[in-house]
Amino acid sequence: GAVVSQHPSWVICKSGTSVKIECRSLDFQATTMFWYRQFPKQSLMLMATSNEGSKATYEQGVEKDKFLINHASLTLSTLTVTSAHPEDSSFYICSASRQGDPYEQYFGPGTRLTVT
Amino acid sequence: AQSVSQHNHHVILSEAASLELGCNYSYGGTVNLFWYVQYPGQHLQLLLKYFSGDPLVKGIKGFEAEFIKSKFSFNLRKPSVQWSDTAEYFCAVPGGGSQGNLIFGKGTKLSVKP
């Protein structure tokens, strides 16, 4: 159990366009979902934390108007990269946790975004 | 501020060798420590975690880690590695707040030669 999926697994978009990435918990209810960004050969950097039905909490330095996060249900969170630029190219990973167990996170497989 | 450091960037071992990956942390609250593993092409998964109690924590796949409070360390160990242990290993600590966000170390890439 505790499977998290992401869609798409990779996406290429043109500069200036927007792209949406979905994160789903397939077999449990995720009260909290996290979005991370991973640069090549570097660690995961937390971008934002989202709870179902409320606004996401963004980490310092992350533009909330550029990286729109919606956590509409207990099994789905979306990250929309608006007006994407080449520097937004990265590996985006989501994770989810259950109520009462906030630190045990289940990770999705990640989405590779390339902005041309 | 919370932080975690992993000193080994890339470790290369032969099969059956013993493994120890270093992790040092700086954390002001209740100490919770984690090791995650990312196998090639796969997603991150939890290896083991320490919340309280016995400082020697057993995880999956024969891994263990020891919390040494005086050294602010939580090193990952395995007595005899296998080729299938080739992966990237991340140490993590809570990032603060109540929502469970984690701060990850930079990771250690382990390559096991068959």
Whether residue A32 lies within 8 A of chain B, CB to CB, comes out as: yes
CB-nearest to A110 from B43, B95, B104 is: B43
Work out whether the CA dihedral A111, A47, A40, B89 comes out positive or negative.
negative
- The sign of the torsion formed by the CA atoms of B56, B59, B63, B68 equals negative
> In terms of Cα–Cα distance, which of A24, A22, A14 is closest to A88?
A14
pLDDT of B52: 87
Bridge-based pairing state of the strands B108-113 and B56-58: unpaired
Give the pLDDT of residue B76: 97
What chain B residue is nearest to A48 in terms of C-alpha separation? B101
CB atoms within 10 A of CB B17: 14
pLDDT at position B12 is 97
For residues B63 and B56, give the distance between their C-alpha atoms in angstroms, rounded to a whole number.
11
Q: Look at residue B98 in the predicted model and tell me its pLDDT.
A: 63
Say what percent of chain A tops pLDDT 70: 99
Q: Which pLDDT score, from 0 to 100, does residue A63 have?
A: 93
DSSP one-letter string for B5-49: E---SEEEEETT--EEE--EEE-SSS--EEEEEE-TTS--EEEEE
Q: Is A97 on the interface with B (CB under 8 A)?
A: yes
A33-89, pLDDT tens digit by residue?
999 999 877 788 999 999 888 889 999 899 999 999 998 899 999 999 999 999 999
Q: What is the pLDDT of residue B97?
A: 65
User: Taking CA atoms, what residue in B is nearest to A101?
Assistant: B100
pLDDT in tens, chain B (114 residues): 678 999 889 999 999 999 999 999 987 777 889 999 999 888 899 999 998 899 999 999 999 999 999 999 999 999 999 999 999 999 999 877 667 788 899 999 999 998
Q: Does A109 touch chain B (CB under 8 A)?
A: yes
The average pLDDT across A18-29 equals 95
